[in-house]
Amino acid sequence: MAAKKANTDKKSKELPQTETCKDTYLTLASPAQGLYKEKGSKFLAFAYPVETEGQVKSHTEALRKEYFDARHHCYAYVLGAKQEIFRANDDGEPSGTAGRPIHGQILSAGLTNALVVVVRYFGGIKLGTSGLINAYKTAAADALQQAEKVERIVMRQFVARFPYEQMNLAMRLVKELQLQVLRQEADMECRLWLAVRLSEVARCQTRFKEERIFLEETES
């Protein structure tokens, strides 16, 4: 698939792995750092948990400002519970020698919602294609190995609407289905904003329909 090739600064929404219905995903609990040195060149690796491309931009721009004198700031990130959004950036290195190896390490670690940036200080000796691939791969792997991982549940958000007289019924459903109440409004028409685990969505929709309580999915 063309979307999987290490095109510099290209995005894709193609799944890098076989699509499955996942209820949980693995990500980083907190930022971490790694380091690799080769023939005078220094590769500083920074791994971050991220949830949006806006956060990716914020981290990469901050590193460019802090390490303004570095030769390259290469990175890759993966977003989405199914690893469906990703980007690899070689930042001037030969195509496929930086972003793709970094991206590969994120996938090898089974992670998503993760960003790894590798900042290179050139040491005066060229490493060649294989040397660069190994350097960026090793630096990224070191940062990810240092990072604490956490498993998170895939959630979807819904809003339930009903008259005040059905409040007790609605709350019984919340307890029965073990739903998380994010916010609520009680008036002539009551509303409950609910977080529902992905694997429980179908059952939740069925039960609310059985009790004739309007339920619709909403954006996070």
- The answer to whether residue 45 scores a pLDDT higher than 90 is yes
Residue type, 139: A
- The answer to whether residue 20 scores a pLDDT higher than 60 is no
Sequence-separated (6 or more) residues with CB below 8 Å from residue 178: 200
- Maximum CA extent, the chain: 76
Rounded mean pLDDT of the chain? 89
User: What is the reported pLDDT for 220?
Assistant: 62
Q: 73-103, pLDDT tens digit by residue?
A: 999 999 998 899 999 999 999 999 999 999 9
pLDDT band at residue 22 using 50, 70 and 90 as cut-offs: low
pLDDT band at residue 135 using 50, 70 and 90 as cut-offs: very high
User: What is the reported pLDDT for 4?
Assistant: 39
Helices 99-108/128-146 angle, 10° precision:
40
pTM: 0.77
Closest CA to 80 of 33, 31, 14: 14
Q: Which domains does the chain have, with CATH numbers?
A: 2-152 (3.30.230.30), 154-218 (3.30.70.1110)
